[in-house]
């Protein structure tokens, strides 16, 4: 159970970090001229965090299968 709790906290941390990073990126782009200056902001955001989220969810799933 402690492993699962740690992984859930890790997932929470990833989401918080993701929100902060996107917020800073969005603010920086808005100050530099909007989406014209950062046209691929959404793609970069998605690519950056898909791997972290998928890995953490796979570890949570693996931990729950191991417990059964």
Contacts of 41 (CB under 8 A, 6+ apart): 25, 26, 29, 35
Greatest CA separation found in the chain? 53
Which backbone phi and psi does 61 adopt, to 5 degrees? -65, -45
Q: 1-57, pLDDT tens digit by residue? A: 577 788 788 888 888 888 898 888 888 888 888 777 777 777 777 777 788 788 878
Residues present in the chain in total: 68
Q: How confident is the model at residue 64 (pLDDT cuts 50, 70, 90)?
A: low
């Amino acid at each position: 159970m402690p492993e699962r709790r740690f992984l859930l906290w890790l997932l929470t941390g990833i989401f918080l970090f993701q929100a902060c990073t996107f917020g800073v990126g969005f603010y920086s782009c808005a100050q530099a001229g909007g989406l014209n200056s950062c046209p691929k902001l959404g793609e970069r955001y998605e690519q950056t965090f898909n791997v972290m989220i998928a890995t953490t969810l796979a570890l949570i799933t693996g931990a729950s299968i191991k417990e059964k």
